[in-house]
Amino acid sequence: MAHYFEEPSHTFNEYLLVPGYSSAQCIPDNVNLKTPLVKFQRGEEPAITMNIPMTSAIMQSVSGEKMAIALATEGGISFIYGSQSIEDEAAMIARVKAYKAGFVPSDSNVSPEATLQDILDLKEETGHSTVAVTSDGTANGQFVGIVTSRDYRISRMDPSTPVHEFMTPKDIVISAPEGTTLKEANNIIWAHKLNTLPIINKDGSLAYFVFRKDYSVHKSNPLELLDSQKRYTVGAGINTRDYATRIPALLKAGADVLCIDSSEGYSEWQKLTIDWIRKNYGDQVKVGAGNVVDRDGFRFLAEAGADFIKIGIGGGSICITREQKGIGRGQASAVIEVAKARDEYYRETGVYIPICSDGGIVYDHHVTLALAMGADFVMLGRYFSRFDESPTRIVRINGNYMKEYWGEGSSRARNWQRYDMGGAKKLSFEEGVDSYVPYAGSLHDNVGATLSKVRSTMCNCGALSISEFQKKAKLTLVSATSITEGGAHDVMLKDNAVQTVK
């Protein structure tokens, strides 16, 4: 007969943390959120450690190059989505690795023959007041000059006035040559009281801009996750079909870590993929695997050689696997069991394999609960899809600004490889939906707010590191009535539209 688990499948929302003793040292500023990304031997350091326990999901609507740069700036890692051509994914990774913090490629450009109206339209579209003038109007054309809001007055100029008549020409613009370091660029900016410094290549083409405002941004991100060459760290998604051609291209582009993107990881397909990596690259190439929801799945991938293991089936906000196939498990129950299996494996072998909670995060405090239950880090899709840095459009629906968000199992994604079971090269049915999520602004502001809550809660539990938190955390299941009690209740909430009557 079938195996039955003795207790119900629980979600994060069914648990609360019980506070522990907090010493005077337990303040949020003292909390260290560093966490291992890949496996390591007892007594050794992991090859890759993240500064915050957050990764972005391997999804078309989440993890592009902008997301990778923004999240690495905060100390986490993005996994560039693999449901695209090998060439396109490798190009994205290469652009992330080539990006220099503080050196910004120009995305507002015109030619000298453009008009003032073109400048105004570009400003309306991008919000940028600094526009590069290049010979052909491209980001890397021959640098001709620059236009800022100080170069024109709308009330006194004809909109058809050519740019070359009012721009600041290159002979007057203070610039710096290629090879200038960020420190040198900032010194020039401060010495000449500039807002913008163009970096010009030897052939006269525009390379980058360095902005005064970015100086403080750079200084305010001490947790940046960089490789040994001071480049941003970035991950890449792979599948179990074309790995023999995709992986070499991704590694050549500079990918620091790989992850098999699959809806269900307890399969020979994943073992074959990992076997190929180990045969061709040994342990030098780091690869995560998953997803699994129990001890057996974890042990299988651990023994197959995975460097980290993802947990979660059917818990994502756009995932309908449970509805379609009746398979999955509540995320809290899955994390708790896999964490026990991880610790058991560590005691037996001396090898610590980090685990990632992927899916099921609805509220910020769910991140904290996932860590308390044993996850080393979380992977988030919906959370990151709401930000400026995700690859999707901002749209207005019923007066509210939203961002597009679709699952890798939806028809829109066409990612049949993620659900591959050795059959035809197509999706037999959908396991994800196409949707919208509320637009939330910048990644920096939102991640900062989320991690502030995590640090504060850890202090309530008397912990200053994730490993200490997992040892000290006390968790309790809550009843439906208790969940209601946890929110605002038995009061009438104030409505800003209500006016006071004297």
- CA atoms of 466 and 374, how far apart (whole Å): 9
Can 259 be counted among the known catalytic residues?
A: no
Strand order in the sheet with 400-406: 394-397, 400-406, 434-438
Four-point Cα dihedral 471, 477, 483, 487, nearest 10? -20
Please answer whether residues 464 and 457 qualify as being in contact, where contact means their C-beta atoms are separated by less than 8 angstroms. Answer: no
DSSP state letters, 400-423: EEEEEEE-TTSTTTT-GGGG-SSS
Is residue 42 within 8 A of residue 349, CB to CB? The reply is no
The active-site residue, picked from 26, 319, 356, 461, is 319
CA distance 17 to 477: 9
Parallel/antiparallel/unpaired status of strands 351-352 and 308-311: unpaired
Q: Are 366 and 360 in contact (CB under 8 A)?
A: yes
Bridge partner residues of 77 (DSSP): 55
CB 287 within 8 A of CB 260: yes
In order, the DSSP letters of 36-68 are ESS-EETTS--S-EESSSEEE-S-TTT-SHHHH
Rounded CA separation 79/258 (Å): 8
- Look up 461 and say whether it is catalytic: no
Nearest to 242 by CA among 261, 267, 218, 265: 261
Options 299, 329, 418, 455, the catalytic residue: 418
Which DSSP string do the residues of 477-499 spell out, in sequence order? E--HHHHHHTS--SS----TTPP
- Contact call for residues 265 and 310 (beta carbons, < 8 A): yes
Per DSSP (E only), the strands in 398-433 are 400-406
Distance CA(297)–CA(138), nearest Å, equals: 51
Burial of 140 per CB tally in 10 Å (0-12, 13-18, 19+)? middle
d(CA 486, CA 240): 44
Phi, psi of 436 (to 5 degrees): -125, 150
CA–CA separation, 167 and 150 (whole Å)? 10
| Residue of 363, 349, 350, 357 lying closest to 376 (CA atoms) | 357
Q: Which residues are catalytic?
A: 319, 418
